[in-house]
Structure 1
Amino acid sequence: MFDLGWNPLHGAPSYPAERYSTLADRIGRILHCRGDILLVQAEAVVALEAAAVSLARPGLSALNIVSSPYGGWFGQWLLRGGATVRNIVAEPGLPIEIEAVAKALDASPHIDVLAVVHAESASGILNPLPEILALARSRGTVTVVDAVASIGGHRLEVDALGVDVAVIGPQKALGGPAGVSALSVSKRAWDLILKDGGPRDSILSLADLKSWVEDGRRGLPGTPAPLEFFALEAALDRIEAEGLEDVIARHVLAASATRAGLTALGAGTWVPAAKASNLVTAVPVPGELAPAGLIAAAGRLGVDLAAGAGAAAHLVRLNHTGPRAAFQTVLSNVAAYGTALRQAGHPADIAAASEAISAAYSP
């Protein structure tokens, strides 16, 4: 008989049902939100699709901001549900311009829903969220914000900004598991979701998840995945021990130090600091080089860099998200990129870059 022996992943204990409500409240505090928090037993793209499916229906008018593949998907989900969708597409790899949003809103007599991604991991850019939300709020438009990448790396005060639906995943800046996600839902959003009944009997139905709130937030529907919830609880423990403001400050510092290092290296950055996220810094590669070659050279040094995604495929991304928002990762990212440039025959002042990063981290 073949004996695999005991493994802690086999027969994991059930996650206590009474602690789901505590998890939701802790997420609400991170979001600065007093509205309903829903827990979704899946990666955050499922929560995003659930938001779109629950809102979309014939007669609904939506303005969808596309600055990455995720924004494009959201628009497709709305269309599939019968909504009338106008996409505003940003310049490739760049944040949306607030003037384009204002013009689109002014051109439409009524917009029910506006959807936008806060920070883009595909290109390292940051959309002007407060300005976008102010425009939408002045018109009574329900807002959906994909904050999966930004939460924990940027300040996001859901109630103060007037966000109606915020979708988050803990696997980025919060340093948690990828297999669970959450949404905040305002009363205005519920009114629209539940209008004419709303979709039911689906894993993508927020109306079905609302029954969890109405039933006292006890056991979640379906079969819970206990390991994911224990991991989420542990991630929230770490965030609360460090302090959310300090977590955000750590990401701000990592981004600032990365930009300083790249500038000293002679590589520059893709967008100025005001348009950049604190999670990923993108750098345009020299025209005759391919990102894949530079990424492979860095990989041989044990450093993981990545190409931009979608319209930003010509970029190389330096990741400083979550646990990676630290001096040693920032330094190794920039030094490895500089080494890759040198090996490709391009000058790179690695010593100056190292000094710039050290200076950024000096008290």
Structure 2
Amino acid sequence: MTIREINIPKRTIMTPGPVEVHPRVLRALSYPVLGQFDPAFTEMMNEVMAMLRQLFRTKNNWAFPVDGTSRAGLEAVLASIIRPGDKVLVPIFGRFGYLLAEICERYRADVYTMECPWGEVFAPEDVIREIKRVAPEIVAIVHGETSTGCMQPLEEIGRACRELDVLCVVDAVATIGGTDVNTDEWCLDAVIGGTQKCLSVPSGMAPITFNSRIEKRINERKKVERGIATEEDLKRERERAPIFSNYFDISQLMDYWSPRRLNHHTEATSMLYALREGVRVVLEEGLGERFERHRLHEAALVEGIRAMGLELFAEGRRKLPTVTCVKVPEQIDADLVRNMMLDEFGVEIASSFGPLHGKIWRIGTMGYSCRKENVLFTLAALEAVLIHVGAPVQPGRALQAVLSFYHEKTAVKGGVS
């Protein structure tokens, strides 16, 4: 059997992840591989840690990537701090809240959940009230829920967790690098990001940061695991936790990312090059400027969607700036439209999950995909296909509305990219 050379089709990727990889990141991926203990490479590790602190807006000592997809970062943090029987509260407002709950259950936490309808977020006071009622050791919560296009306010929740001595663990996979994630100011104890969304790096690493409160919890467990505690403590811990991950043991990853460089695994060197360049691009643009760019192109997309005669699923203050969810018109096959956009135009948008599958389209404006030409092309493709399938849209209005929007912004600010 002869396998021909790979031939990647040209795509405009406007999903909530993965997104188009920045050209500088693609170039970085082509660099020669170094040994993981080569001084040139370990210096890169130090640089990545320093840049991740800026990205997460934290002074935490620990900020490094876990090798694996975003879920690897989530599991590493939760696996390393959960003691079987711990109470963990998970507020759920979409698919990825259920994922957090499942991970916690697998590590034998006593999981408490609270839910609100998909398309809504929690009032912070409701979450705080539930924290006081449950008295958990840990709150695990999603910041940006890509399944619904909603973003949960965290500042009040994080501060309440700190006051109540509860650890606050945040899934910021869809928000880091695209909208504000203020780790220290919001009193977040651990934050997990992703590479394949607003950082415009391929999937394969999960940047994390955590503070001394998390480190203390990890070290307490490490003492037991390494026999520093009493035999009675060790026996009790083994009875409570007969299964504990080796790969996702953050105590070992800390040894690897510390100056000691104790070997834990073979580092994904090329992915670290990519992450380093991706975060460097973010910081060169400036966090404030980058967040403003994401809001600008989100607003342009929304302008076009409305002008076309379509409705948004989530809007207002609860809307996630990096994902726009659009209601599918009645009698229209959502997947047929998506497939035609991909086949005829090379434009990819996403469906959703569970109760929203077939009812909304999800359009990402993230990272390098968040550009004027992508917004215009996506709207043109969506409008053309909807007209073809007989949807009740307003022909021609979307692009004209967006062109006027961009022209106005250009006149005010001197340019749009």
TM-score by length of 1: 0.90
Q: Does 1:280 align with 2:301?
A: no
CA distance in structure 2 between the aligned counterparts of 1:350 and 1:140, rounded to whole angstroms:
56
CA distance in structure 2 between the aligned counterparts of 1:220 and 1:94, rounded to whole angstroms:
44
Structure 1 residue 112, shift from structure 2 partner: 1.1
Alignment RMSD: 2.5
Match of 1:43 in 2: 69
Q: Does 1:157 align with 2:182?
A: yes
Identity, % of aligned positions: 24
Question: After superposition, where does 1:95-244 map in structure 2 within 5 Å?
Answer: 95-108=121-134, 110-197=135-222, 202-213=246-257, 215-216=258-259, 218=261, 221-244=264-287
Q: Deviations over 1:223-259 (max 9, x none)?
A: 1121111111221232222222222111111111111
In structure 1, stretches of 5+ residues that fail to align are none
Q: Is the 8 A contact 2:155 2:187 kept in 1?
A: no
Select between 159-168 and 315-324 the one with higher mean Cα deviation: 315-324
CA distance in structure 2 between the aligned counterparts of 1:135 and 1:331, rounded to whole angstroms:
43
Match of 1:92 in 2: 118
Select between 275-284 and 187-196 the one with higher mean Cα deviation: 187-196
Change (3 A) 1:73 1:329: same
Match of 1:357 in 2: 402
Q: Does 1:330 align with 2:330?
A: no
CA distance in structure 1 between the aligned counterparts of 2:259 and 2:31, rounded to whole angstroms:
30
Q: Does 1:302 align with 2:346?
A: yes
Select between 14-23 and 115-124 the one with higher mean Cα deviation: 14-23
Structure 1 residue 219, shift from structure 2 partner: 6.8
CA distance in structure 2 between the aligned counterparts of 1:262 and 1:160, rounded to whole angstroms:
35
Specify which of 332, 341, 357 is matched with residue 386 of structure 2: 341
Change (3 A) 1:219 1:360: farther
Q: Is the 8 A contact 1:56 1:78 kept in 2?
A: yes
Q: Deviations over 1:30-85 (max 9, x none)?
A: 11111111321111111101112112222311111222332212212212222111
Structure 1 residue 180, shift from structure 2 partner: 1.5
Change (3 A) 1:286 1:82: same
TM-score by length of 2: 0.79
Q: Deviations over 1:115-143 (max 9, x none)?
A: 11111222221112223323323322110
In structure 2, stretches of 5+ residues that fail to align are 5-28, 226-243, 411-417
Change (3 A) 1:97 1:334: farther
Match of 1:266 in 2: 309
Select between 158-167 and 269-278 the one with higher mean Cα deviation: 269-278
